[in-house]
């Protein structure tokens, strides 16, 4: 019987390190790889500084050596710049709030990396995501399910995976809790055992998105007016890229009552502020949809949906409106429905599908 071959994406963190160990222990022929996604120049980092990803590469290499598996670094910098960084910048400059982790999964990890795996004659791509993949013999479809650890479940950022991608992907950590992963890594004396989880956006090292965008584009975004929903001026903002829908902190205004960003208008360079009750919405339209557990949604379907990663799922009714779009009505009004963010649909612990919010709707 032929031994299955698996290409393991090793980020240099504890999750992918343990995933690599588990795959090797399961009897697969394992190959570890780290994706080089950007250079110092790409993220406007001074050449004299050491990008944190270099340390991650060394950690991944050390783990691969300890596991006695081949290890390589694959250069995806051009693809990452075009599909993730450029899209991130373009979204903010057009008043959309992007999710680059979803774009990285969609365009890089489960697209370009899977192509490279095929070239290396690997049967599977393996990552350290907290999610589960199962085949449903009744529907004949591959299903994406939540990870066992509710605090680490990553099914939300994986909704764009296709049937073919799901059939060729393994998530070894899906049925484990983070505490178990740490204990396993510690017992194996992995260099990554106590390494902190990565936070925020990997290519914005200091988490200052606005400064990054200005350096990246070479463009300054001028001040403009804060206005209320009636068009009355409330003050002066510091450039539209510094504000997202639902934001309350960092406005720099002395207001008698808390107000929140409800709209960013690139044409007249205004940012609209409203009170909390005016930030609620009951419906949305989504585009670039991907369906997993069902072939289509042309008949209305009851689902639970979430419009941001950490949100608790909410009951809603969804109906597909074209090949690439669907409309969603929530049972209860939701706060700050944000264009550019993902809306993901669930049936229990199974991902039905999802899409990119293009607008709240009445």
333 Cβ contact partners less than 8 Å away, ≥ 6 residues apart: 280, 281, 282
What is the spatial distance between Cα 64 and Cα 50, in angstroms, rounded to a whole number?
22
Alpha helices in the chain (DSSP H): 14-25, 52-67, 77-80, 86-93, 100-104, 113-119, 163-167, 178-187, 209-217
Strands 169-170 and 124-126: parallel
Cα separation, 362 vs 355, in Å, equals 19
Cα 126 to Cα 110: distance, rounded to the nearest angstrom: 10
Instruction: Mention every residue, 6+ apart, whose C-beta is less than 8 A from residue 322.
Output: none
- 52 is an active site residue: no
**203 within 8 A of 40, measured Cβ to Cβ:** no
DSSP code, position 4: P
Is 9 annotated in a binding site? The answer is yes
CA-to-CA distance for 312 and 304, rounded, in angstroms? 9
Structure tokens at 50: 């050491």
Report which secondary-structure segment, H or E, holds 115.
Answer: helix 113-119
Adjacency order of strands within the sheet including 29-36: 71-75, 29-36, 5-9, 124-126, 169-170
11 is in an annotated binding site: yes
Phi, psi dihedral angles at 15 (to 5 degrees): -65, -50
Catalytic residue among 51, 101, 104, 122: 104
Nearest to 129, CA basis, from 102, 152, 108: 152
Active-site hit among 51, 101, 122, 202: 202
Three-class secondary structure of residue 263 per DSSP? strand
254 is in an annotated binding site: no
Using DSSP bridges, classify how beta strands 71-75 and 29-36 pair: parallel, antiparallel or unpaired. parallel
Ligand-binding site membership of 35 (annotated): yes
* Residue 259 marked as a ligand binder: no
**Is 104 annotated as catalytic?**
yes
- Residue 328's DSSP bridge partners are 284, 318
Answer whether 269's CB lies under 8 Å from 309's CB: no
Q: Is 128 annotated as a binding residue?
A: yes
Query: Is residue 206 a known part of a binding site?
Result: no
User: What are 175's two structure tokens?
Assistant: 């049925």
Cα-to-chain-centroid distance, residue 28:
28
16 is in an annotated binding site: yes
Q: Which residues define the annotated binding site?
A: 9-16, 35, 128
Q: Which residues define the annotated binding site for ATP?
A: 9-16, 35, 128
Positions marked catalytic: 104, 202
């Amino acid at each position: 019987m032929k031994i299955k071959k698996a290409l393991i994406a090793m980020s240099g963190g504890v999750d992918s390190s343990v995933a690599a160990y588990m795959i090797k222990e399961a009897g697969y022929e394992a190959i570890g790889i780290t994706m080089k996604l950007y250079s110092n120049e790409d993220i406007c980092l001074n050449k004299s500084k050491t990008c944190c990803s270099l340390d991650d590469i060394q950690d991944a290499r050390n783990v691969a050596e300890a596991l006695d598996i081949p290890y390589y670094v694959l250069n995806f910098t051009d693809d990452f710049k075009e599909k993730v960084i450029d899209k991130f910048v373009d979204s903010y400059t057009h008043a959309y709030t992007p999710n680059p982790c979803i774009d990285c999964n969609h365009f890089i990890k489960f697209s370009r990396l899977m192509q490279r795996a095929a070239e290396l004659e690997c049967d599977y791509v393996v990552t350290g995501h907290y999610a589960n993949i199962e085949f449903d013999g009744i529907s004949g479809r591959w299903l994406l399910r939540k990870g066992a650890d509710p605090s680490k479940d990553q099914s939300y950022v994986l909704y764009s995976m296709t049937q073919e991608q799901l059939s060729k992907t393994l998530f070894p950590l899906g049925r484990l809790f983070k505490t178990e992963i740490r204990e396993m890594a510690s017992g194996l004396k992995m260099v990554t055992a106590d390494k902190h989880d990565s936070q925020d956006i990997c290519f914005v090292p200091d988490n200052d998105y606005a400064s990054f965008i200005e350096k990246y584009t070479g463009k300054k975004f001028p001040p403009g007016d804060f206005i209320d929903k009636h068009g009355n001026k409330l003050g002066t903002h510091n450039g539209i890229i510094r504000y997202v829908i639902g934001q309350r902190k960092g406005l720099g205004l002395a207001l008698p009552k808390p107000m929140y960003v409800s709209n960013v208008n690139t044409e007249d360079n205004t940012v609209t502020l409203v009170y909390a009750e005016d930030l609620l919405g009951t419906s949305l339209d989504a585009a670039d949809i991907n369906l997993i557990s069902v072939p289509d949604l042309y008949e209305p379907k009851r689902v639970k949906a979430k419009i941001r990663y950490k949100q608790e799922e909410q009951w809603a009714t969804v109906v597909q409106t074209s090949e690439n779009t669907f409309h969603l009505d929530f049972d209860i009004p939701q706060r700050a429905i944000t264009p550019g963010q993902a809306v993901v649909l669930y049936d229990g612990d199974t991902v039905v599908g999802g899409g990119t919010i293009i607008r709240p709707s009445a």
